[in-house]
Amino acid sequence: QPVFVISVDDPQKVGDPIRGYTMYTVHTRTTSPMFQKSAFSVLRRYSDFLWLYETLSANNPGVVVPPVPDKNPFGRFDDQFVKQRRFALEKCIQKIANHPLLGKDADLKIFLESDTFALDIKHRKAELAHERGGIMASIGQAVAGPRFYETDEWFDRQKVYLDSLESQLRGLAKAIDAVAKQRSELAAATGEFSQSVGDLSASDIGKGLSHSLSGLADVERMAQEIQSTQSEQDLTTIMGTVDEYARLINSVRMAFSSRIRIYHAWKQSESDLIRVKQSHEKNRAQGRIATDRLSYSLSQIAEAEKRAAESKHEFEHVSKLVKSELARFEQERVSDFKDSLHAFLEGMIERQKQLINAWEGYQQML
Residue by residue, pLDDT tens for the chain (366 residues) are 899 999 999 999 998 777 889 999 999 999 999 999 999 999 999 999 999 999 999 999 999 999 999 887 666 778 888 988 999 999 999 999 999 999 999 999 999 999 999 999 999 888 888 776 654 444 444 445 668 889 899 999 999 999 999 999 999 999 999 999 999 999 999 999 999 999 999 988 888 899 999 999 999 999 999 999 999 888 888 999 999 999 999 999 999 999 999 999 999 999 999 999 999 999 988 888 888 888 999 999 999 999 999 999 999 999 999 999 999 999 999 999 999 999 999 999 999 999 999 999 999 988
From CA 200, how far away is CA 195, in angstroms rounded?
9
Q: Is 4-113 a CATH 3.30.1520.10 domain?
A: yes
Task: Map out the domains of the chain as residue ranges.
Answer: 4-113, 170-365
**Residue 270 burial (CB < 10 Å; 0-12/13-18/19+)?**
middle
SS3 61: coil
Contact 262, 314 (CB under 8 A): yes
CA pair distance 193, 205, nearest whole angstrom: 18
CB neighbours of residue 51 within 10 Å: 20
Closest CA to 249 of 148, 334, 173, 164: 164
Q: Rounded to whole angstroms, how far apart are CA atoms 260 and 156?
A: 13
Fold of 170-365: Substrate Binding Domain Of Dnak; Chain:A; Domain 2 (1.20.1270)
Q: Which regions of the chain does DSSP assign to beta strands (E)?
A: 4-14, 21-30, 39-45
CA distance 188 to 298: 81
pTM, 2 dp: 0.86
